[in-house]
């Protein structure tokens, strides 16, 4: 098994495919807090080779500042929740639009909900 460590970058939020591929091969990916990794280095210059050496050093010394990343199941659940939220919002917009139309036609008052009166009025729309 190989341990792969990298620092987090905001543009990498859609990199779950890489994590899945590496873990399918039997390896492990750790994503670290970029600010804490940067703070652990005394040099201010940014250089890829030096950054790689720093990541290796932190991993070997067991000081790697690992951040929490959601599992694939948690990511799927989040996507489902986001989709549900959008559907609920669309339904509310549609209901509000229909209520607005009914109020403009005089079938519905703003405060009350007269079911019998509303159904007779809506039947007159047909």
DSSP character string of 13-80: TT-HHHHHHHHHTT-EEEEE-HHHHHHT-S-----HHHHHHHHHHHHHTT---B-----HHHHHHHHH
82 and 55 together in one domain: no
Mean pLDDT of the chain: 80
Whether 34 shows a pLDDT value over 70: the answer reads yes
Could you report the per-residue pLDDT of 85-98, keeping only the tens digit for each? 999 999 999 999 98
In terms of C-beta density within 10 A (0-12 exposed, 13-18 middle, 19 or more buried), how is residue 72 classed?
exposed
41 and 77 together in one domain: no
d(CA 81, CA 104): 35
Reference 9, options 34, 41, 45, 30; nearest CA is 34
Q: Across residues 81-109, what is the average pLDDT?
A: 90
Determine, yes or no, domain membership for 120: no
Q: Across residues 19-36, what is the average pLDDT?
A: 83
Domains in the chain: how many in total? 2
- pLDDT for the residue numbered 105: 83
Determine, yes or no, domain membership for 90: yes
20 and 53 together in one domain: yes
Question: Is 114 or 68 the better-scoring residue by pLDDT?
Answer: 68
d(CA 37, CA 67): 11
| CB-CB contact of 6 with 31 (8 Å) | yes
Whether 108 shows a pLDDT value over 70: the answer reads no
Q: Across residues 22-32, what is the average pLDDT?
A: 84
Report the length, in residues, of the chain. 126
7 and 48 together in one domain: yes
- pLDDT for the residue numbered 121: 64
Give the domain extent around 102.
Answer: 72-109
52 and 18 together in one domain: yes
């Amino acid at each position: 098994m190989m341990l792969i460590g990298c620092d987090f970058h905001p543009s990498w939020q859609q990199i779950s495919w890489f994590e899945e591929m590496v873990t399918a091969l039997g390896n492990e990916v750790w994503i670290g807090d970029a600010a804490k990794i940067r703070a652990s280095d005394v040099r201010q210059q940014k250089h890829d080779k030096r950054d790689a050496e720093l990541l290796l050093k932190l991993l070997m010394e067991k000081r790697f500042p690992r951040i929490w990343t959601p599992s694939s199941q948690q990511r799927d659940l989040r996507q489902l929740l986001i989709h549900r939220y959008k559907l609920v919002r669309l339904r509310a917009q549609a209901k509000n639009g229909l209520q607005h139309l009914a109020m403009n036609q005089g079938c519905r008052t703003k405060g009350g909900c007269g079911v019998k009166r509303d159904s007779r009025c809506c039947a007159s729309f047909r």
